[in-house]
Amino acid sequence: MKNLIINADDFGRHELINRAVEKAFNEGCLKSATIMAGGKFFDDAVKISKKIPSLGVGIHFTLANGFPVLPPEKIPSLVNEEGVFHENYVVFLKKFLQGKISHDEIKSELAAQLEKVQRARINLTHFDSHQHLHHFPGIIEIVLELAESAKIFKMRASNSKIFDGRLDSIGKFIGRLGLSSLAKFAADKARKKNFSTPEHFAGIVAGESVSENFMENLILNLQEGTTEVMLHPGTDNKVLKDFCEWEHDFEEELKAVTSPKILKLLEEKNISVINFKSLGGKL
């Protein structure tokens, strides 16, 4: 059996991301998204999830490049002078490895994010994290403990193929190799605690977008089991690039998962597009 989980990250970060999730569900093959509890458009994302209850919604745990749920004074090691998270995973991990990030503050903030999503009465299907930080030793243990207490037993393992997408710098090679190793470590820890993860991961993790050609090639060469495709779709590149401060082709990813060619190919190949709720393992 070959299954695909196509998941949109950053649900709730911006209204144009939310519109893309809704459009990709209604007109395409997107069946899953992960919501950002500290996102500026969290409430709008909650409303959309209520309109399309068949959309599987997970939590997108966030520790960098976003907004905290707790007041900044309660988590001083996690925020900068402006009271927002450190600008990206590189800054965060440097401080984390230097012992400048409090583990207790990580747990408090992530617990607050989880509680906020639960208060919105979203039945969470799974969890992942912004910029893949849940894979890191010292963080994965905290996340698994919180998820277990909330009975969320499905997790992303970002075990990406090193040669997916452009490999035009040594930095990208090292980054993909490092993430793949960390993802295997985190998945092993998760499975020992009876968590489930998809067998394969096909998102491009170095900033490039998932295109129609990428999706076509993936479907034609899909492996047995379940493969997760990570997306960051949106409806307006200019607005979202400025807002997210990220050179990403949001529109191309939306186009890829609403492409009639891709939808037809999925049907011809008899590939099931599911969400994490349908993934095997504990409910």
- What is the mean predicted confidence (pLDDT) over 31-49? 98
pLDDT of residue 20: 98
Q: Is the pLDDT of residue 170 over 50?
A: no
Q: Is the pLDDT of residue 283 over 80?
A: no
The CA–CA distances, whole Å, from 206 to 15, 81, 170 equal 24, 28, 12
> Closest Cα partner for 91 from 80, 83, 75, 82?
80
- What is the mean predicted confidence (pLDDT) over 150-176? 67
Pairing state between β 2-11 and 225-231:
parallel
pLDDT of residue 171: 43
pLDDT interval class at 164 (50, 70, 90): low
Share of the chain above pLDDT 70, in %: 91
Q: In DSSP terms, which residues pair with 272 in a beta bridge?
A: 3
Torsion of CA 196, 228, 33, 208, to 10 degrees: 140
| Separation between Cα atoms, residue 151 and residue 165, nearest integer Å | 35
Q: Is the pLDDT of residue 169 over 50?
A: no
> Closest Cα partner for 198 from 152, 135, 155?
155
pLDDT interval class at 58 (50, 70, 90): very high
Q: Which of 59-63, 103-107, 207-211, 231-235 has the lowest mean pLDDT?
A: 207-211
- The per-residue pLDDT for range 95-138, each reduced to its tens digit, is 999 999 999 999 999 999 999 999 999 999 999 999 999 999 99
Q: Specify the CATH number of the domain 2-278.
A: 3.20.20.370
> Closest Cα partner for 190 from 142, 118, 223, 129?
142
> Can you say how many angstroms the Cα of residue 22 is from the centroid of all Cα atoms in its chain?
16
